[in-house]
Amino acid sequence: MKDKMRKKALAAWAVLLLLMPLTIQCGSSEGERVLSAEEMRIAASRCIDSISHQMITAPQGALLVLNPDSTAGRELLDGLSAEAWILVEDSTGLLISAKNPHQRMFPASLTKMMTAMLALECGKMGDSIVITEDVFLTRDSRVRLGDSYLMGNMIREMLMESDNDAANAIAKNIGGDIPSFCQLMNERAASLGLDSTHFANPNGMPHDSTYSSARDLLVLARYCMRDSTFAQIVGSPFMKIPLIDGRHLNSQNTNLLLQSYEGCIGVKTGFTNQAGACLACAATRHGVTLYLVLLNSRSRSSRFTEAAALLDYGFQVVANGLR
């Protein structure tokens, strides 16, 4: 059964390679192709397969893989406060559970996954970045006016602490200004097939033109995690982040599942009053990796408990042989 599923997944990837946009490099011109390895990375990130699996409709409109524990599964879904989620097994793209996966919603700081990925791909890690007045906008961040970081460490600060003004500084360094960087973000979103996504800023602060969906953010998280530097940062519970002046700031990852959930390997938290509590996460157990995006949970703590419950359920589904 597992070999059959893998063959189906590979076939799906082949189809995606024929259909997906090919303009995915920073500043690429229309029609320019990239290495097949990059195309495969995008195809693997986009592969979500539910067609060949028997599904049931659970209360609140959620989808659940039909298995011997389906009653318990429906009870689990009934108890979740999140407005949307999607849970996928990574190697095959098996869709295990979803609720409103295509609904456009505020992504909050899950936006920073795209900002970080563009920074890693287009930025120079040795560039010196200064926090200036034009990027020191939200003032609820840990960076301070006049602070200087190397680009690589600014990315770490942004991802570990979900630092809004660090995201602004990165955007200015790469794009020249924030609107130009947002154009790069939207071009990359289009190349990844994120059809329900648009970015108006690099940090996810509330804006009517910043929106995404659980499905799109799942594709983005899978894509980002296939970059080893990104994965190393978001998989670190703690880190010391140096400034250019010699200071070091102790940093604790905002994703508390890294410390509380066995096998958690990332990826990013988000919260605003408009978006609610959001989480993109991934976990690996016994060679199986699950990805989950959960949006608009009731509270910052409930996003972790609800994510853990869904991941537990997902691993149970895989253990029962639905692969």
Catalytic residues: 109, 112, 162
Residue 130 pairs in a beta bridge with 148
**Cα–Cα dist 104/214, whole Å:** 8
**Cα–Cα dist 129/93, whole Å:** 39
Residues whose CB falls within 8 Å of the CB of residue 59, separated by 6 or more in sequence, listed in order:
74, 77, 78
Integer-rounded Cα radius of gyration of the chain: 19
What single letter denotes the amino acid at residue 273? N
Where are the strands (E) in 91-247, listed by range?
A: 95-99, 128-130, 148-150, 238-242
Least Cα distance to 297 among 314, 313, 309, 279 occurs for 279
Least Cα distance to 197 among 175, 222, 167, 217 occurs for 217
* Residue 202 contacts residue 154 (beta carbons within 8 Å): no
How many CB atoms are closer than 10 A to CB 77?
Answer: 21
**What does each C-alpha distance from 27 to 32, 35, 167, 280 come to in angstroms?**
10, 16, 20, 28
* Residue 153 contacts residue 245 (beta carbons within 8 Å): no
**Cα–Cα dist 72/141, whole Å:** 42
Least Cα distance to 166 among 202, 212, 128 occurs for 202
Give the pairing of strands 84-89 and 95-99.
Answer: antiparallel
